[in-house]
Amino acid sequence: MKKKAQVPAYRVYVIGLKPEVLVSKKFREANPDYVAGKPCYYVGSTSHPPEVRAAKHRDAAAKKNGQKIYNSFAHSYYDGLRPSQYEKITAFSDRKSAEAAEEALALHLRKKGFAVWQK
């Protein structure tokens, strides 16, 4: 009997960033409406469990060919996962939908005055 192929589940996740990320001009320019004192976040989407994907950022993971598979801000200023910011978002069956939800969440957080980096 053939096994049925499992449909991957794509998830949105949020990593807290240390406030020192604000020393980056590039990061500050991406967040012109940031309200001083509010948290900073990295928002991403993945087909892996959020804990596994976050560890790849934290540990500066790379493919066997040396290509990095982490975000520099998420690595350098990593301050843990923030499940409360994404746990109510259901998983998606396709990458495109997850990436759209990732963008929407980043925009939502920015509108609340948070500083956010998203692909």
Which pLDDT score, from 0 to 100, does residue 44 have?
98
- Specify the residue for token string 């963008």: 103
How large is the average pLDDT for residues 11-29?
Answer: 98
Which pLDDT score, from 0 to 100, does residue 56 have?
97
Domain-located, residue 2: no
Domain-located, residue 54: yes
What's the structural domain count of the chain? 1
Domain-located, residue 72: yes
Model confidence at 76: pLDDT above 90: yes
Domain-located, residue 18: yes
Domain-located, residue 110: yes
Domain with 70 in it:
11-118
pTM: 0.91
Domain-located, residue 6: no
Q: pLDDT tens digits for 32-52? A: 999 999 999 999 999 999 999
CA dihedral 103, 107, 108, 112 (to 10 degrees): 150
